[in-house]
Amino acid sequence: MSTVITYDDARAAAGRAARARTWLCWLAVAPGLVWAAVRLPGLERGPAVQAVAFTPYVAAWTPVPLLLALALRRRGPAAVAALAAVALLAMVAPRAMASAQPSASGPTLRVLTANLLAGAADAGTVVDLVRDQRVDVLAVQEFTPGAAAELDRLGLADLLPHRQLNAQVGTTGSGLYARFPIAGGGIRQHRGGWGFTQAYGSIAPPGGPPVRVESVHPSAPHAIDQVGFWRTDLEAQPPATPDAGLSILAGDFNATLDHALLRELLATGYVDAADATGAGLVGTWGPYDGDPIPPVTIDHVLVDRRIAVRSVSVRGVPGSDHRAVLAELRLPAA
């Protein structure tokens, strides 16, 4: 017994196939569209705070649904996919391109920041970086008494003799080392005495103006119940003072340039050094211990807009799940 396929049956089957292709396109387009709708106005809340850190990966993926929609000749999904791709790529791609720098004729200042992972980072690597790269200022986070002793044992006391330190067991310690004297130093503590601490102080390189430097370490949004602390800590970071003194914030911000709070801090008068040199997409936290988490850029050196950024490099530090960030800066003349 044979089955006769009528014209109406074939037409209905073709219609179902066309609808399936349309739904397939919309399903592929939806993630990028939703992501852009959250990222563009800075609406990340709850679990979206963590997700937004991976925006560069989503932006790199957005041409795929666009090509799919074009290949299947679905104009609506193609138009929406194009909008999402343009929006996300426009926010991310400039980080891979260097920007013009202000005119600055003062001394060079080399700043290194490193999260020591509760003192587990290899102190020898940190001291070698300071020595080989002629670092002038070192900001450390998750700084412990053991790390402090080991750094000095390996020669850091001779390289950077001036310091403002708050070594603590665990992850809350902070430290600031400098080649030049530190004035007005202190320790700032988040959330009434039990959060991360931040060492700060002002230095004045020969021939340059005073610069306030702070080792930054707000809370991490590693769980939904920590997002409120993360927001409070980021909002408490000292803003730039474009009409007054120079300021540098260096450390583990637990935030990327896709987080609205970090962009708001930049808007006060800072520039992200890596972004300014075209290195803004280089990951600084993986973690690098085998977990399948793509690297994200949460360690930063933020500098006053009057400071020229000459170069930025990201360096591995064995024993830490963070990479160190080294920024070579040119200060305005005194």
pLDDT of residue 5: 59
CA angle, 295 then 60 then 323, to 5°: 15
Hunting for tokens 């799940």 — which residue is that?
A: 321
What's the number of CA atoms in the CB half-sphere (13 Å) around residue 288? 16
Write out the two tokens for 298.
């949460």
Q: 257 is written with which tokens?
A: 């340039």
110-to-74, 140, 266, 294 alpha-carbon distances in Å: 53, 14, 20, 28
pLDDT tens digit sequence for 170-184: 999 999 999 999 999
Predicted local distance difference test score (pLDDT) of residue 25: 87
List of domains in the chain:
7-96 (no CATH), 108-330 (3.60.10.10)
* Predicted pLDDT at 292: 79
Low-confidence ranges of the chain (pLDDT < 70): 1-15, 18, 191-194, 287-290
What pLDDT is attached to residue 193? 58
